[in-house]
Amino acid sequence: MSARKTALITGAGRNIGRAVALHLARDGLNVVINGATDRAAAESVAAEARALGAEALVVMGDVGSRAECARIAQEAIAAFGAVQVLVNNAALRPAKPFLETTEEDWRRIMAVDVEAAIWLSQACLPGMVAAGFGRIVNFTGMNAIHGYSGRAPVSVAKHGLWGLTKSLAKEFAKQGVTVNAISPGPIAADDDVPGVTNSRSGYVAKVPMGRMGTPAEIATVVGMLVSEGGAYVTGQMIQVNGGAET
């Protein structure tokens, strides 16, 4: 069992999740890397974290399953004694016309985008409360602020995640646990090619800074929120979007 605090990051094999895991490893936390299918990517992040001096554990699993959420948390707690920092990053954001959206589509998006945060928080909060210290960071995004055509289930789920954030922040504030949300603007992906347009490029015109953000810029905000210095910030949605209108 390590004396260092431990962070569990879902969807940590690439992009924002990867950047968060490495930032927290650099800040002195051990990290539990969760991914759904790409074990090689998760193991690569874990190796990078170890090179930064952290202990790192890969726990693959589908957070869209309540049973898998319980198993993922249990493996993390068994390895490190507790999870003091939970970053609910994994999400689905498919586009589909509302009238073509099936019950299966709705249930799957709700399971991954909001219910996973519920079950993982239930699994990790007892240890946080016992220690008098805990940090939960959820990712909402512009879908929790604007309703987007073709993404009704995602917007509904992200609004729900914002509600969960505010409720847990109030319920666990006196136990030393903070719960916050980050709303990223358009963020460059690890495999983006400079100068080549992609599905996020159209949003850049609405960003006063005139560019996409980077995963590292999101990770820096996560690092602040989960630090000792973030103890008085809770129940907030912090927008990291280059000044885009909200």
Domain boundaries, given as residue ranges, for the chain = 6-240
User: What's the pTM?
Assistant: 0.94
Choose between 166 and 246: higher pLDDT.
166
Residue 85 has pLDDT above 50, yes or no: yes
pLDDT for residue 246: 63
The type of residue at 204 is V
- CATH code, 6-240: 3.40.50.720
Cα dihedral 8, 159, 239, 139, rounded to 10, equals: 20
Stretch 26-53: mean pLDDT: 97
Rounded CA separation 225/195 (Å):
33
Judged by DSSP in three states, 2 sits in coil
Strand partners, 67: none
Residue 54 has pLDDT above 70, yes or no: yes
Residue 41 has pLDDT above 90, yes or no: yes
- Count CA within 13 A, CB hemisphere, residue 117: 30
Rounded CA separation 133/32 (Å):
18
Q: Which of 20, 17, 14 is nearest to 38 (CA)?
A: 14
In sign, the C-alpha dihedral spanning 124, 125, 130, 131 is positive
Residue 1 has pLDDT above 60, yes or no: no
pLDDT for residue 92: 93
